[in-house]
Structure 1
Amino acid sequence: MPDALTREAPRLVSAEVPATLAAALAPAWLTQVLGRTVRSAEAVEVIRTVATKVRFVVTFEDGGQGAYCLKGLLDVDEMTARGGPTCVLEADFYGRLAQFVDCTVPDCIATVIDRERQQAVTVMRDLIVQGAVFCSALDSFSADDALSSLGQIAHLHARSAVLTEFTWIRPRLSQLAEMRYVTPETLQELLDGPRGDGLPRSVRDAPRLIAALKALAARDASRPQFLVHGDAHAGNVFRWNRGMGLIDWQLLQHGGWALDVAYHINAVLPPALAEAEERHLLREYLAMMRGHGLTMPDEDEAWLQYREAAIYGFYLWSITRRVDPPIIVEFVDRLGKAVARHESHALLGL
């Protein structure tokens, strides 16, 4: 087992996973989860995307109070509930892995997991009460901001030796490449909509994109594997007095380092700024990783892998549906322009 850092593991609570917001805020259930008798709980903010995030305040029987945030699939339809395995994966990150990585993440109090039903909720301390500010998906990052957030990604990647122990972390890219429910016809319909406006026809070609993803998955599997966040856009970054931190571990995976780096740079920076700064940011990331003691490719090989990996983030956002349309449109545009600029399809033999 790898060495743990100073972060404590959260409590793994044996309780029913709530399916509704009302059940999640029930004092009896929270008493089980928090290990203290809860008199009442009040929601402060409810954010519903695919998963629901609830900031809430509890009053304990002894009169004390606590501010927390809970994340899970609450009040969702049957189709959305099928995403439960991603909530289990995130709960496992906090319960089994977070204590071994030294990027900044929320302080998790407890996880509740139903492995048979593949549902889970994660209860964390409310970082906003502690002064944190969560970035929105479309926050405007400067190059210095991107360098800071890349530092967090480098901290995560630097702990990739844990993969030898945590074999439950899977290669998500290969799973995406074999996915059947997003057909070429469905993807083409999405790319022909507003999200594809402004991109060249060659980039909006669904069969070509699917083939490129398969080619990237094959190449990526043959390269050294890293502990990868998998969804490192600005909306999954927070800022506070300790710098930046990362949230949302539902796409945790192992894969090539460039999956995170190419996605992150091109998602958080507007295309013109990404084009101007990406080689510098890539060099800085490689230097950080070598500073952590890892062997990394030389600059030319790293640049090649970076350019190929732009396909990953572009595909993720091209198939996305349950997010506000303006966010989808912006990310498909940013990431699609990166794919066009880097000729990622051609690099992958297409």
Structure 2
Amino acid sequence: MSQVLERQVPSQPQIEVPTTLEGALDAAWLARALAEVTAGRAITDVRQVEVIRTVATKVRMEVTFADGQALGLCLKGLLDVDAMTARGGPTCVLEAEFYNKVAPLVDVRVPDCLATVIDRDGQQAVTIMRDLIVDGATFCSALDPFTPDDALASLDQLARLHARSSFLSGADWIRPRASELARMTYVTPEALQELLDGPRGTHLSPRVRSAANLAAAMAELAARDGGRPQFMIHGDAHAGNVFRGAEGIGVIDWQLLQRGGWALDVAYHLNAVLPVEVAEVEERRLMGEYLTMMRGHGMAMPDEESAWAQYRESVVYGYYLWAITRRVDPPVIVQFVERLGKAVMRHDSFGMLGLA
């Protein structure tokens, strides 16, 4: 088993969760949020550096303390959102709990989290981390194509997470997301078909861009996956959730942390980060490398043929996730749906799952 990184558990102050950018940048609130890790020092100035809005908002800032010391921070949460978006608060709570409970135990490169502020009754949270960019890290774009060597390095990080899956015993707050997606009702079949009939489905076969087929395949995959050994998986490991630091590749964005089959993560990850023509050539070798990593961590894994069949089925998870996505830049959606949809075509994932 790899040596576990020694990380401190973040501070968890019992204060209100900000709902606006103005509130998150308030010096008095930040001083209260960071009091435990800064010995209660007053903050005299907060300078906004960058605001990145997707579903959640990431705010890079520089705070200056009364003694003149400055610190680069990144705060993440749902800020200035409408009521519909605010319903995603439980995913922010999930990410905060990852940093509180999981990150200190796993040998995965993640940002240094200083504090999490959680309203468990209202199901909202913000996470306050050190700003990795200040420390020289770079974040990959969601559209950055990985090389096979890049993918091998990021698979190593996923394997280190998966290898700590004994944590799932008693951690009922980490849920089987695939089965929940399959039962989801807020995207109707008609709405899904309309999405697939748009630019995102342009380069896919009629069979694969059928909403009815995709929904049936996702339901069957969830049923099969629920009967397999369950791992602690990232759930959304595309290139946009990867950073490069001095020590190597690391992983961010833990809002879809879940329990599920290992192949949900691996098939999604490889087909999201690799260009189609590279995935066609390299994915089976890379999957084999992943299996070797896991066995090196002491994990029992299926033989390669069984694993390959599971991988081929599991491509559907990532394809479904991006097929239903709406609140992301359209070019990102189009590229991921095409990469993952073509993987479904290449592997005949629907046929593997029993669809005629």
TM-score range, shorter chain: over 0.9
Distance 1:343 1:213 in 2: 14
Cα displacement string for residues 29-63 of structure 1 (whole angstroms, at most 9, x for unaligned residues): 00101113111101111101110001100011122
Instruction: Name the amino acid aligned to 1:277.
Output: E
Deviation at 1:95, TM superposition (A): 1.1
1:138 to 143, 147, 150: 143
1:316–1:85 distance in 2 versus 1, CA, 3 Å = same
1:17–1:239 distance in 2 versus 1, CA, 3 Å = same
Distance 2:106 2:93 in 1: 19
Instruction: Name the amino acid aligned to 1:83.
Output: G
2:313 aligned partner: 308
1:124 aligned partner: 129
Distance 2:281 2:73 in 1: 40
TM-score (norm 2): 0.97
The secondary structure found in structure 2 opposite 1:295 is coil
Distance 1:229 1:173 in 2: 12
**2:242·2:249 contact (CA, 8 Å) conserved in 1?**
yes
Instruction: Name the amino acid aligned to 1:161.
Output: S
Is 1:193 aligned to 2:169, yes or no?
A: no
The secondary structure found in structure 1 opposite 2:316 is helix
Instruction: Name the amino acid aligned to 1:31.
Output: A
Distance 2:19 2:172 in 1: 29
2:158 to 144, 150, 153: 153
1:327 aligned partner: 332
Is 1:50 aligned to 2:46, yes or no?
A: no
Alignment of 1:229-248 (within 5 A): 229-248=234-253
1:17 aligned partner: 17
The secondary structure found in structure 1 opposite 2:206 is coil
**2:4·2:107 contact (CA, 8 Å) conserved in 1?**
no
Aligned length: 348
Residue segments in structure 1 that go unaligned for 5+ positions in a row? none
Distance 2:145 2:347 in 1: 22
Residue segments in structure 2 that go unaligned for 5+ positions in a row? 36-40
Cα displacement string for residues 94-123 of structure 1 (whole angstroms, at most 9, x for unaligned residues): 112111111110000000000111110000
Distance 1:62 1:272 in 2: 55
Deviation at 1:287, TM superposition (A): 0.2
Instruction: Name the amino acid aligned to 2:101.
Output: R
With 38-47 and 304-313 compared, the bigger mean Cα shift is at: 38-47
Distance 2:45 2:263 in 1: 46
The secondary structure found in structure 1 opposite 2:12 is strand
2:280 to 275, 292, 296: 275
Alignment of 1:205-244 (within 5 A): 205-244=210-249
**2:156·2:290 contact (CA, 8 Å) conserved in 1?**
yes
Cα displacement string for residues 120-165 of structure 1 (whole angstroms, at most 9, x for unaligned residues): 0000000011111000000011011011100100011011010013
Distance 1:6 1:126 in 2: 19
Distance 1:314 1:4 in 2: 33
Distance 1:344 1:4 in 2: 36
2:38 aligned partner: none
Cα displacement string for residues 259-309 of structure 1 (whole angstroms, at most 9, x for unaligned residues): 000000000001110010001100100000000000000000000000000
TM-score (norm 1): 0.98
Distance 1:245 1:260 in 2: 15
Instruction: Name the amino acid aligned to 1:14.
Output: Q
Distance 1:4 1:304 in 2: 32
Distance 1:317 1:148 in 2: 24
Distance 1:33 1:39 in 2: 14
Deviation at 1:64, TM superposition (A): 1.2
What RMSD over aligned residues (CA atoms) do the two structures have, in Å?
A: 0.9
2:42 aligned partner: 37
1:256 to 258, 261, 271: 261
Is 1:8 aligned to 2:8, yes or no?
A: yes
Instruction: Name the amino acid aligned to 1:288.
Output: M
Cα displacement string for residues 313-338 of structure 1 (whole angstroms, at most 9, x for unaligned residues): 00000000000000000000000000
1:82 to 84, 87, 103: 87
The secondary structure found in structure 1 opposite 2:344 is helix
Distance 2:170 2:134 in 1: 35
1:5–1:140 distance in 2 versus 1, CA, 3 Å = closer
The secondary structure found in structure 1 opposite 2:172 is coil
Is 1:318 aligned to 2:323, yes or no?
A: yes
Distance 1:5 1:57 in 2: 27
Is 1:103 aligned to 2:108, yes or no?
A: yes
Instruction: Name the amino acid aligned to 1:136.
Output: S
Distance 2:180 2:282 in 1: 31
Distance 2:319 2:228 in 1: 21
Sequence identity (%) = 67
Is 1:348 aligned to 2:335, yes or no?
A: no
With 228-237 and 88-97 compared, the bigger mean Cα shift is at: 88-97
